[in-house]
Structures are given as structure tokens and as C-alpha cells.
């Protein structure tokens, strides 16, 4: 059995204006869906947060106010993202962070919250690969020598991060499958 047959999975990542989902906003959303047959679909968009992006945050993800000035608002892209993720397990590295921003943004624009399954990739990779010096996505990228799908795209951009997370998800599932059946999801 292939690891993705336990899916479908939608790996997603957000970049934001800060760390608190109530006070801050999403400025980029990307996702890769892998269906049970192994087929992939992708989604990525910048999002106009309707507020200034703090310079300290720009230094991390390099998304500027000018870059999002003509981007759609979250409420404009939410239905497309939810349609993509429907009937799949949402996966994120440190899912609590990304999911809290997604839920708050959905609520803010009058959409139903995500009620489907979720999987925290950070918890999963800690379980399957104990004792690594760091479980940051960038450290995992170096340790596992992950492919760079965007030829040196900066870290902390959602589209690159979801591609690396997809590779880490495969590594973690393959490790679990060598040991036991993968667990159920919450």
C-alpha cells in the first residue's frame, strides 16, 4: 500500500501579519492536495489583509504591502480553498498555528469553520524520527535533503513550505508503515 492511500490529504500553509489569529491576518495561503490515487492539485494565492504588514514580519516572509495591494481578500478565496480541501485531512506543520488562522479567517467572513480531520505534521515527524536536533521545517529540509521545487525559493513562503511538508509527510508515513499501521486522525 502507498502512504497516500490513507488520504486524501490537503497540506496547507499560511503566512500572516503576525502571530495572533484574532489580531493578525493571512497574507498568503498555499495548499497541495494528494488524493488516494496519488494525483496532486495545487492552490496558492497572496491575500490582501486590509492592513499594513509589519516590517519585522516582512523580514521573515518577504511579502510586502505592495505585493498584496491587488490580491483578493480572504473571503474571496475561502470557498475555493474549502472546496479543494473538502473530504480530506488537513495537514500543517505546527497545525495549531495554521488552523487557528484558518478558523478565525473563516469565522470573520461568515464561513463555516473547518470541521474535518486534521493532522499535525510536526507531532507526526517527532513521533517517527525521535531525537532530531530541531523539527523546524528548514532543519527537516536539510536533514532529509528535500527537493527544492522552486529553485531556491525563500523559506517562509507558503507555496514552497507546502511542497516540503508534502515530502516530510511521505517520509513520516513511510516510517510508520515500516513499523505499524498509521494511526487514526482526530
User: E strand or H helix at 21, and its extent?
Assistant: none
In the set 24, 61, 93, 156, the catalytic residue is 156
| CB atoms inside a 10 Å sphere around CB 177 | 15
Q: Report how far apart, in Å, the C-alpha atoms of 160 and of each of 48, 115, 133 are.
A: 20, 26, 22
Q: Is 62 a catalytic residue?
A: no
User: How big is the chain by its Cα radius of gyration, in Å?
Assistant: 16
Show contacts of 129-138: CB within 8 Å, 24+ apart. Answer: 129/171, 129/172, 129/175, 137/93, 137/161, 137/164, 137/165, 137/168
Give the catalytic positions in this structure: 156
Amino acid at each position: 500500500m502507498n502512504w497516500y492511500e490513507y488520504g486524501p490529504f490537503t497540506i496547507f500553509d499560511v503566512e500572516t501579519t503576525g502571530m495572533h489569529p484574532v489580531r493578525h491576518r493571512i497574507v498568503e495561503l498555499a495548499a497541495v492536495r494528494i488524493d488516494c490515487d496519488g494525483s496532486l492539485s495545487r492552490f496558492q494565492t497572496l491575500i490582501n489583509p486590509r492592513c499594513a504588514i509589519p516590517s519585522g514580519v516582512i523580514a521573515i516572509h518577504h511579502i510586502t504591502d505592495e505585493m498584496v495591494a491587488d490580491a483578493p481578500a480572504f473571503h474571496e478565496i475561502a470557498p475555493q480553498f474549502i472546496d479543494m480541501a473538502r473530504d480530506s485531512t488537513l495537514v500543517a506543520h505546527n497545525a495549531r498555528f495554521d488552523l487557528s488562522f484558518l478558523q478565525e479567517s473563516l469565522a470573520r467572513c461568515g464561513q463555516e469553520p473547518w470541521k474535518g480531520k486534521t493532522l499535525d505534521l510536526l507531532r507526526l515527524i517527532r513521533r517517527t524520527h525521535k531525537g532530531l536536533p530541531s523539527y523546524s521545517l528548514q532543519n527537516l529540509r536539510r536533514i532529509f535533503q528535500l527537493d527544492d521545487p522552486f529553485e531556491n525559493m525563500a523559506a517562509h513562503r507558503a507555496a514552497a513550505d507546502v511542497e516540503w511538508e508534502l515530502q516530510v509527510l511521505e517520509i513520516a508515513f513511510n516510517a510508520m508503515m515500516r513499523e505499524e499501521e498509521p494511526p487514526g486522525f482526530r
